[in-house]
Structure 1
């Protein structure tokens, strides 16, 4: 998988970080803590981005901890390392970065891991890549916590007749082919759960929806623009007919009248 990050991607990650933190299924952390063995902890964070997962999770895990941040983008890794928390729940937190292709990780790359984590990552993988990732995580023999995987379900209130057509086109875009790779998009989390189950690894799923109302109007506006743009890229015939819809929805967001629910699932596998 070759990284082609859109402009201002780091800004998008920063904007969504509070909503991600509010959405993640915190009760899975209690299960993670019960499944951890020994210490200090070694946590491999896949697709670390700007380090949001570590900032959310490290304070909830017993210390000391050493985080290994994986990503393909050197600038993002530098930001993640610079923004790491200095302490967890009872001990110091340290970090290192590893740049590389996340779809090619093996169990050897995750050797001595206490925990593997990722956030909003799976939808960019193919079926084969999910299988390799699951094989690596299962082979490492530790818990794997994969959060905020999209499911393809969104709900806007008040509803509009265009919502369903845009959602369907967006989901098609999520399943598009990129350089010959057929992305799983919203099917990825189910494929991941099934791959763990085939290996005899127990899986726990929890809902982790974004709820974007007036307090998150900035994120709602950015999300809506990206959602509609992707749908129109997939189905260009939607571009003209949805202009009035787009203006109407943006006015509703600006006025605090639109609430958006974007469904995700968090997955905890293994270590039990």
Structure 2
């Protein structure tokens, strides 16, 4: 997967990390912990970014852990490795290695030593074929895939334009770019179906962002991206949403805006 990331992508990941941590399903992490074998763990984290998933999960798992962080961006991998936790839940050591490469081309051999595979906010950026390939590579071990968008957004107070913007945004998430037709909000269902074809049990649980006044900076960045993608998908919305955008930003500045952005966490094979 070759994606041109914005220069401020690391800043965006840092801004969203507290909300991601609050949204991820701790009960699925508990289920993983109960099923993992005794002894050292090797965890492959796919699309690691700056390492948010590893920072959240490593302190929740016991025993010595070796994390292998996969991403296409060398700078993000450097940041992730530098900020990894050094101790597991029971104080055992945590070590880290990085691998730069195309996540859509991972094979069973690439994950052969994995005790556990993880990812966060990755599935919706893949195509149906890429999800099938990823599932085939992961199917032999527990896999925790967190924070995949579902397409459902609820903004409070409600506005008549919300549904139209959400639909345009979801169409943008399913766009074809560079010959790749992304799954966007259809990715969780596609992954669950693919795991089922491999005879792997799947547990899917909601993991929404619930953003209020204490997340005003995140709401502002999310709203800009949400509305911008909708306008890109349907250019006629640029003029139609001028007053809407100003109204929403005024509500945010007044501390009146609340946003629910729905995601799902998927646990397979545990």
TM-score by length of 1: 0.98
CA deviation after TM superposition for structure 1 residue 269, in Å: 0.2
Tell me the SS of whatever aligns to 2:50.
coil
Contact 1:3 1:73 in 2 (8 A): no
Q: Deviations over 1:207-243 (max 9, x none)?
A: 1000010010100010000000000000000001101
Tell me the SS of whatever aligns to 1:43.
strand
CA deviation after TM superposition for structure 1 residue 51, in Å: 0.4
1:82 aligns with 2:88: no
Structure 2: distance between partners of 1:66 and 1:218: 34
Contact 1:212 1:261 in 2 (8 A): yes
1:3 aligns with 2:3: yes
Structure 2: distance between partners of 1:7 and 1:258: 28
Tell me the SS of whatever aligns to 1:6.
coil
Contact 1:116 1:144 in 2 (8 A): yes
CA deviation after TM superposition for structure 1 residue 38, in Å: 2.9
1:197 aligns with 196
1:122 aligns with 123
After TM superposition, what 4+ stretches of structure 1 lie above 4 angstroms from structure 2?
none
Structure 1: distance between partners of 2:39 and 2:4: 37
How large is the RMSD of aligned CA atoms in angstroms?
0.7
Structure 2: distance between partners of 1:33 and 1:164: 39
1:158 aligns with 157
Tell me the SS of whatever aligns to 2:43.
strand
2:60 aligns with 60
CA deviation after TM superposition for structure 1 residue 260, in Å: 0.2
CA deviation after TM superposition for structure 1 residue 107, in Å: 0.8
Uncovered stretches (5+) of structure 1, i.e. residues with no partner: none
Q: Deviations over 1:169-196 (max 9, x none)?
A: 0000000001111000000011000000
Tell me the SS of whatever aligns to 2:84.
coil
Structure 2: distance between partners of 1:63 and 1:255: 47
1:214 aligns with 213
CA deviation after TM superposition for structure 1 residue 39, in Å: 2.0
1:232 aligns with 231
2:243 aligns with 244
CA deviation after TM superposition for structure 1 residue 129, in Å: 0.2
Uncovered stretches (5+) of structure 2, i.e. residues with no partner: none
Structure 1: distance between partners of 2:168 and 2:46: 28
Structure 2: distance between partners of 1:165 and 1:209: 21
1:223 aligns with 222
1:257 aligns with 2:218: no
2:108 aligns with 107
1:35 aligns with 2:35: yes
Tell me the SS of whatever aligns to 2:96.
strand
Structure 1: distance between partners of 2:38 and 2:101: 28
Tell me the SS of whatever aligns to 1:106.
coil
2:44 aligns with 44
Structure 2: distance between partners of 1:199 and 1:60: 28
TM-score by length of 2: 0.99
CA deviation after TM superposition for structure 1 residue 202, in Å: 0.2
CA deviation after TM superposition for structure 1 residue 3, in Å: 2.2
